Amino acid sequence: MARRGLLIILSSPSGAGKTTLARRLMGWDPDLSFSISATTRPPRPGEEDGVHYHFLTEKDFRQQVADEQMLEHAHVFGNHYGSPAGPVREAINAGRDVLFDVDWQGAQQIRNSELGKHTLSIFILPPTIDELRRRLIERGQDEDKVIAKRMQKSWDEISHWDSYDYVLVNDDLDESEEKLRTIVSAERMRRAQQPDLAAHVRALHDQFREKEVR
């Protein structure tokens, strides 16, 4: 039977393993895709419109927000970022799942949007704060000052854990990936995700009545 797609939201403090788990999830199901965000910042060298971002003027971005064509949006460091609703709506209706890498505020906006009933939100927790710090250091991507800022921000992000549908403690990456797959597989079978169920039940009812008449 046909199904509708899911809006799969993954959130976590930096270093908890969200990006790695998202990559593994997409490797498990190649039909999964990331939502391509819109932004008002200029393209960086090598970035393509519609591939890395949808690059919009501030006027066009604000108009899309006013027309409720953004599932979520935020103003970050002088630029606007958001998730266009149109491509996501098309994917959902075609039965394709879309991944979102957003914070708790973005997750809340998506849940309150027109597509909110198709949302699956998952928060990734680290096993300990020391482990979170160790992962950030071992990544080797940030200076000490940046790591300190990320650590300070992590508690605010963690404090919103209870607004998510599921919470995973990422102590073991393989185990977390298996749990993530299980969650997605089960949520795909939600009644709201199966638009043909009502027609199937009506058909069963008609078959039952025909047998009664005979």
49 inside domain: no
- Single out the residue of 51, 60, 68, 183 nearest to residue 115, CA to CA: 68
38 inside domain: no
Strand pairing report for 38-39 and 166-169: unpaired
| Residue 92 CB neighbour total at 10 angstroms | 20
* pLDDT given at position 206: 93
- Single out the residue of 150, 165, 53 nearest to residue 104, CA to CA: 165
Look up residue 200 and give its two tokens: 């199937």
18 inside domain: yes
> The domain spanning residue 175 has which CATH number?
3.40.50.300
- Single out the residue of 36, 6, 9, 41 nearest to residue 121, CA to CA: 9
The tens-digit pLDDT sequence of the chain (214 residues) is 789 999 999 999 988 999 999 999 999 998 899 999 999 999 999 999 999 999 999 999 999 999 999 999 999 878 999 999 999 999 999 999 999 988 999 999 999 998 999 999 999 999 999 998 898 888 777 788 888 888 888 989 999 999 999 999 999 999 999 999 999 999 999 998 999 999 999 999 999 988 877 6
How many CA within 13 A on the CB side of residue 12? 23
User: Contact 95/1 with Cβ under 8 angstroms?
Assistant: no
40 inside domain: no
User: Contact 128/135 with Cβ under 8 angstroms?
Assistant: no
Residue 101's domain spans which residues?
Answer: 7-33+97-213
Q: What is the DSSP letter of 191?
A: G
56 inside domain: no
107 inside domain: yes
| Residue 197 CB neighbour total at 10 angstroms | 14
116 inside domain: yes
How many structural domains comprise the chain? 1
Return left, alpha or beta for 72; rule: phi > 0 is left, psi -120 to 50 is alpha, else beta: beta
Mean pLDDT, the chain, rounded, equals: 92
61 inside domain: no
Q: What is the DSSP string of 106-130?
A: HHHHHHTSTTGGGEEEEEEE-S-HH
Query: Helix (H, G, I), strand (E, B), or coil: what is residue 100?
Result: strand
* pLDDT given at position 214: 66
What global pTM score does this model have?
0.85
